[in-house]
Amino acid sequence: GWRVLIAMMVLMRKDVTEEQLEAVVQVIESHGLKALPLPGGERTAVGIPSAIPPDLRPVLDEILSAMPGVDKVVHISRPYKLASRDFHPHDSEVRVGEVRIGAGHFAVMAGPCAVESYEQMLTAARAVKAAGASILRGGAYKPRTSPYAFQGLQREGLEILKVVSQEVGIPTVSEVLDPHDVELVADYVDILQIGARSMQNFPLLVAAGRAGKPVLLKRSPHATIDEWLAAAEYLLTQGNDQIMLCERGIVPIDRTYARNTLDINAVPIIRYHSHLPIIVDPSHGVGHARYVPAVALAAVAAGADGLLIEVHPQPERALSDGAQSLRPDEFAQLMAQIQAVRAALAPFNAK
Ligand code: PEP
Ligand code: MN
């Protein structure tokens, strides 16, 4: 048998002219690729029946989608489809109780890196809620580089999260590390967090996709955009459409000043190529509390649908990530600045 692998399809407008079609074919061929005109009853498309080098794909998309007579460019061979805007042009909205994230709704998730005690979480929850956060974060299962470092309170941590969530009236997000723990964690928290180190733990993604809870999928510091969206595809193919992406910094060329390099480019890139909400984590992105506010505001200005920020009542006593955790008063000030940036940009975002 034979098969034609179509890597990309250029869908032409119904009123396309012969000249416009010919121009599209020429542009494709000038890049060393084959062009296959596919006339249809309704309208014509031009297929590209060969593999396209990954770095050429976005360039070609940009050139072709701007040409007269072109309706849109559809990427057939990319490793994700459900996560793509190609067949889902409108923004997805994630619902967590009364909280909405995406499609114009903005939410801040804040709290300690790790759940350490009931008192610590209660203080943190009250403070972040009072400052305007709508989700409480806190890890019960911590992915630590060293097995001797604090691993999290695990089940006890989940119980603390749940009690505090109910007492303060704020939904929660918490990381799940092991596919076997997905059901347990899903019983206790409102959003499952897949950590950066787990982004390509495929059995974990499948289990999380089936748990019936929204999922926050962090980007691995080593992952390309395609790998990250392909990981989201694992969640979406389980029938879960309540998926958020979280940029948390990629490998830096220099760890002297920052823990990671926040890939701010990811915000407009994800917004263009995917309908999923994009959340930014400036805390892990830069790694030092003094830089977190500037980076957080940049993410808001860039169009992030939300932020994930580490806040600890006493950062100097934190069992993990104290150096990058804001004090409650610093967080409250940042929230006011976030509101100011959002208000300044609101007239431009109104449709
Ligand atoms: C965290 O959110 O505390 C965390 C461990 O983040 P990441 O997976 O991005 O390192
Ligand atoms: Mn952390």
Ligand 1, residue 197: give the atom nearest the CA: 8
Provide the CA 98 distance to its chain's centre, in angstroms. 20
Predicted confidence at residue 351, as pLDDT, reads 61
| pLDDT at site 87 | 84
**For residue 126, what pLDDT is reported?**
99
Quick check: helix, strand or coil at residue 68?
coil
Nearest ligand, CA of residue 320?
Answer: 2
- Residue 79 CA to ligand 1 centre (angstroms): 25
User: 137 - beta bridge partners?
Assistant: 173
CA-CA distance, 285 to 257, in Å (whole number)?
Answer: 12
Closest CA to 304 of 348, 246, 257, 347: 246
Confidence (pLDDT) at 299: 98
Nearest protein CA to atom 9 of ligand 1, as residue: 196
Ligand 1 geometric centre to CA of 257 (Å): 19
Q: Note the pLDDT of residue 4.
A: 61
Pocket of ligand 1, candidates 116, 150, 173, 175: which has the most ligand atoms within 8 Å of its Cβ, to mutate? 175
Please, are residues 234 and 240 in contact by the beta-carbon 8 Å criterion? Answer: no
Q: How far apart are CA 237 and CA 241, in angstroms?
A: 9
Nearest CA to ligand 1 atom 1: 113
Ligand 1 site-directed mutation target among 172, 194, 245, 284, most atoms within 8 Å of CB: 284
- Full DSSP string of 94-158: EEETTEEEBTTB-EEEEE-SB---HHHHHHHHHHHHHHT-SEEE-BSS---SSTTS----THHHH
Among 174, 177, 193, 217, which residue has the most ligand 1 atoms within 8 Å of its CB, making it the best to mutate?
Answer: 193
The one-digit pLDDT tens for each residue of the chain (351 residues) are 456 678 999 999 999 999 999 999 999 999 999 999 998 888 899 999 988 988 899 899 999 999 999 999 998 888 899 999 988 999 999 999 999 999 999 999 999 999 999 999 999 999 999 999 999 999 999 999 999 999 999 999 999 999 999 999 999 999 999 999 999 999 999 999 999 999 999 999 999 999 999 999 999 999 999 999 999 999 999 999 999 999 999 999 999 999 999 999 999 999 999 999 999 999 999 999 999 999 999 999 999 999 999 999 999 999 999 999 999 999 999 999 999 999 999 999 876
Q: For residue 124, give both structure tokens.
A: 């943190």
The secondary structure element, H or E, covering residue 272 is: helix 266-273
Distance 272 CA to ligand 1 centre (A): 25
Q: Where are the beta strands (DSSP E) in the chain?
A: 8-12, 36-38, 45-48, 70-75, 94-96, 99-101, 107-111, 135-137, 172-175, 191-194, 215-218, 243-247, 278-280, 306-310
Give pLDDT, residue 41: 84
Q: Residue whose CA is closest, atom 2 of ligand 1?
A: 113
Residues flanking ligand 1, CB < 6 Å: 113, 139, 143, 195-197, 218, 248, 284
pLDDT at residue 2, rounded to an integer? 55
